[in-house]
C-alpha cells in the first residue's frame, strides 16, 4: 500500500508539472494578416508596408502538452452509496492508457521587440525574443512497476529511464521574403542564439530486472538494477568534491555572485535557420512548405558534466547458513545505493539542438474573403517524429479583420477545436489564437492547452484580396500554334 501511495504522488506530480506552457502555431499558420505568421513560414509576406511589435507584447505564447493522460483520466468517481460523490485515483486505468514512452513538452516565448517593412517585392523583419523550452519523457514501466509490482516483469527488464532537457535562451532573428513573381515566394530567417541556462540528460538509463529460474539445480534467482547516466548543465554551480574525488551533492550549491553579469557575458552562443516557400500551383490553390528551428547552442559558460554507472544484483540469503544473522540486509542495500552517488565531475563544453519543425500546407481560396487550409506539421525531438494535422476556415471582413476556425488532430487527441481573430483598430492590431479552445470549456479532459496573443502597430496597410479564378488558367502561357 505504501508503494501505491508513492506512485500516486509520482503520477500527480507528472500531471501538475505538465501544467506549464508550450507554443503551438497550427492555426496561426494561415492567419497571414498577422506579421508573426512569418515565424511559421519565412516566405509569407505581411499585408502592411510597416509594422512594429508593441514592446514586450508583440507576441506572448504558451502551451502545455502531456501525451500521457488528463485529470479525468487520473481521477474517477467512486462506486457505492458512500463513495459516489468522491473521486479516487484510477492508477490501473492510467497504466492501460500510457504508451511505451510518454512526453511532457512545455514551451514559453515572449517577444521583446520586433519590426518589419517591405521594399517592393522584398519583406524584411527582425525580432528579439526570450524562449524557454522543456522536454520531459517518462516510460510506461516507471508507473506500471509501482502499480502492478514486478510480477509483469519476470525475466525481463523494467525501463525507468527518463529524459529531461530544459533550455532558456535569447533569440535575435533577421528574416527576408522575396516575391519572385505572382506565383512563387521564398524566404529565410537567420537566428543568433544566446543561451542563458540549460539542464540536459544526455543519457539516463535506469532499469530493474527480476530473474526467476525454475530449474532447481541452478536456482539462479535475483533482482538487479543498473544505472548508466550523464547529465550536462550550464548553470552557475559551485560544485564540491568529497575525499574520494566524487561529487558531494549535499554541499553543492548555486553560485549567485554577479549572476546578472554572468548571464550577460556568457559564451553560450549558437545559430539557427528557418526557410520556406509558397507556390500557386493552379487557379486559387497555393501550396506552402517550411522548415523551422534548424539550429544548436554551444554551452561553454560554466559547464558541468555529471556521469556515473552502477549495477547491483541481490540474490537473497541462505537461511541455512549459520552466519546469516551477522548480515544486515539494510546495510547491504545502503552500501549499494551509496555507490550510485559516486558521480564523476568534469567541466567540458557541450551542444544541444533546437526542436526542428516541418510544415506542409495548402490554401484554397473559395471567394475573395473566404478560404480553407490544410496543414501537416511534424516536430522532431527525442529522435522521434511528433505529427499533427489541422484543417482551417478563414474569413476576412471589416477591411483588415480576420477570423479563423480550426480542427486539429494532435497529441493523440481528435477533439481539438481552435480559434483565431486578428483585429485592426488603426494603427493597432490585436490578435488572439488558440489551437484548442475546448480546453477552456472542459479543462479536466484536456491534455493540451495553448494561447498566443500580441499587439502590433501597423502602417501602410492596403486591402489586398486573393485572386479568385473562375476557370482553369495555366501558370505559364504557351502560344498557340497556327
Give pLDDT, residue 332: 52
How much of the chain, in percent, has pLDDT values that exceed 70?
A: 82
Please state, in angstroms and rounded to a whole number, the distance separating the CA atoms of residues 281 and 476.
Answer: 11
16: three-class secondary structure by DSSP: helix
Domain-embedded: residue 173: yes
Residue 299: exposed, middle, or buried by beta-carbon count in 10 A (0-12, 13-18, 19+)? buried
Give pLDDT, residue 334: 53
- H or E element at residue 135: strand 122-139
Give pLDDT, residue 130: 94
Residue scoring higher pLDDT (92 or 285): 285
Give pLDDT, residue 66: 84
Domain-embedded: residue 128: yes
- H or E element at residue 404: strand 401-410
Give pLDDT, residue 428: 92
Please state, in angstroms and rounded to a whole number, the distance separating the CA atoms of residues 223 and 231.
Answer: 26
Q: What mean pLDDT is predicted for residues 197-220?
A: 83
Domain-embedded: residue 479: no
Give pLDDT, residue 479: 53
Of 379, 441, 444, nearest to 103 by C-alpha is 379
How much of the chain, in percent, has pLDDT values that exceed 90?
A: 45
Residue 290: exposed, middle, or buried by beta-carbon count in 10 A (0-12, 13-18, 19+)? buried
Please state, in angstroms and rounded to a whole number, the distance separating the CA atoms of residues 90 and 73.
Answer: 7
Structural domains in the chain (count):
1
pLDDT tops 60 at residue 319? no
pLDDT tops 50 at residue 17? no
- H or E element at residue 333: helix 329-340
Indicate the average pLDDT of the chain. Answer: 82
Chain centroid to Cα 467, Å, comes to 37
pLDDT in tens, 69-128: 887 888 877 665 566 667 778 888 888 888 899 998 888 999 999 999 999 999 999 999
Domain-embedded: residue 124: yes
Please state, in angstroms and rounded to a whole number, the distance separating the CA atoms of residues 67 and 74.
Answer: 13
Whole-model pTM? 0.82
pLDDT in tens, 18-64: 333 344 579 999 998 899 999 999 999 988 899 999 888 888 898 88
pLDDT in tens, 147-183: 888 888 888 899 999 999 999 999 999 999 999 999 9
Please state, in angstroms and rounded to a whole number, the distance separating the CA atoms of residues 432 and 440.
Answer: 14
CB 354 within 8 A of CB 362: no
pLDDT in tens, 418-435: 999 999 888 899 999 999
Size of the chain in residues: 482
Residue-number span of the structural domain to which 11 is assigned:
2-461
Domain-embedded: residue 241: yes
Query: How many C-beta neighbours within 10 Å does residue 22 have?
Result: 25
Domain-embedded: residue 478: no
Domain-embedded: residue 261: yes
Rg (CA), the chain: 28
Give pLDDT, residue 340: 60
Please state, in angstroms and rounded to a whole number, the distance separating the CA atoms of residues 367 and 409.
Answer: 26
Please state, in angstroms and rounded to a whole number, the distance separating the CA atoms of residues 377 and 360.
Answer: 6
Query: φ and ψ at 473, to 5 degrees?
Result: -140, 120
Q: What mean pLDDT is predicted for residues 312-329?
A: 56
Domain-embedded: residue 372: yes
pLDDT tops 50 at residue 9? no
174: three-class secondary structure by DSSP: strand
Amino acid at each position: 500500500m505504501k508503494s501505491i501511495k508513492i506512485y500516486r504522488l509520482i503520477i500527480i506530480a507528472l500531471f501538475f508539472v505538465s501544467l506549464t506552457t508550450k507554443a503551438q502555431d497550427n492555426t496561426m499558420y494561415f492567419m497571414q494578416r498577422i506579421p508573426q505568421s512569418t515565424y511559421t513560414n519565412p516566405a509569407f509576406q505581411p499585408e502592411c508596408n510597416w509594422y512594429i511589435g508593441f514592446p514586450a507584447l508583440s507576441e506572448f505564447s504558451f502551451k502545455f502538452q502531456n501525451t500521457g493522460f488528463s485529470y479525468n483520466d487520473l481521477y474517477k468517481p467512486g462506486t457505492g452509496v458512500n463513495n459516489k460523490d468522491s473521486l479516487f485515483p484510477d492508477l490501473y486505468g492510467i497504466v492501460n492508457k500510457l504508451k511505451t514512452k510518454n512526453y511532457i513538452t512545455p514551451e514559453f516565448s515572449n517577444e521583446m521587440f520586433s519590426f518589419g517593412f517591405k521594399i517592393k517585392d522584398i519583406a524584411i523583419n527582425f525580432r528579439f525574443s526570450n524562449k524557454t523550452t522543456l522536454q520531459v519523457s517518462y516510460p510506461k514501466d516507471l508507473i506500471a512497476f509501482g502499480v502492478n509490482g514486478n510480477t509483469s516483469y519476470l525475466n525481463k527488464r523494467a525501463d525507468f529511464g527518463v529524459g529531461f532537457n530544459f533550455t532558456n535562451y535569447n533569440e535575435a532573428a533577421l528574416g527576408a521574403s522575396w516575391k519572385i513573381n505572382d506565383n512563387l515566394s521564398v524566404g529565410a530567417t537567420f537566428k543568433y542564439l544566446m543561451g542563458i541556462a540549460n539542464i540536459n540528460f544526455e543519457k539516463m538509463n535506469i532499469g530493474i530486472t527480476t530473474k526467476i529460474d525454475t530449474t532447481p539445480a541452478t536456482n539462479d534467482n535475483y533482482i538487479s538494477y543498473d544505472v548508466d547516466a550523464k547529465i550536462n548543465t550550464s548553470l552557475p554551480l559551485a560544485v564540491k568534491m568529497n575525499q574520494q574525488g566524487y561529487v558531494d551533492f549535499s554541499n553543492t550549491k548555486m553560485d549567485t555572485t554577479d549572476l546578472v553579469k554572468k548571464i550577460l557575458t556568457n559564451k553560450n552562443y549558437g545559430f539557427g535557420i528557418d526557410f520556406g516557400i509558397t507556390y500557386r500551383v493552379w487557379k486559387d490553390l497555393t501550396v506552402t512548405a517550411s522548415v523551422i528551428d534548424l539550429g544548436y547552442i554551444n554551452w561553454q559558460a560554466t559547464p558541468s558534466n555529471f556521469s556515473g554507472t552502477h549495477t547491483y544484483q541481490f540474490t537473497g540469503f541462505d537461511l541455512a547458513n549459520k552466519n546469516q544473522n551477522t548480515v544486515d540486509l539494510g546495510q547491504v542495500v545502503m552500501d549499494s545505493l551509496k555507490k550510485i552517488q559516486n558521480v564523476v565531475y568534469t567541466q567540458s563544453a557541450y551542444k544541444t539542438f533546437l526542436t526542428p519543425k516541418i510544415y506542409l500546407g495548402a490554401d484554397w481560396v473559395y471567394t475573395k474573403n473566404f478560404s480553407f487550409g490544410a496543414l501537416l506539421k511534424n516536430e522532431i525531438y527525442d529522435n522521434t517524429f511528433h505529427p499533427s494535422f489541422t484543417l482551417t476556415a478563414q474569413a476576412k471582413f471589416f477591411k483588415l479583420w480576420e477570423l479563423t476556425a480550426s480542427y486539429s488532430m494532435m497529441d493523440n487527441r481528435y477533439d481539438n477545436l481552435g480559434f483565431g481573430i486578428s483585429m485592426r483598430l488603426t494603427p493597432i492590431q490585436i490578435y488572439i489564437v488558440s489551437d484548442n479552445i475546448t480546453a477552456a470549456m472542459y479543462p479536466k479532459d484536456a491534455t493540451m492547452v495553448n494561447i498566443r496573443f500580441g499587439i502590433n502597430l501597423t502602417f501602410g496597410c492596403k486591402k489586398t484580396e486573393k485572386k479568385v479564378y473562375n476557370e482553369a488558367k495555366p501558370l505559364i502561357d504557351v502560344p498557340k500554334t497556327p
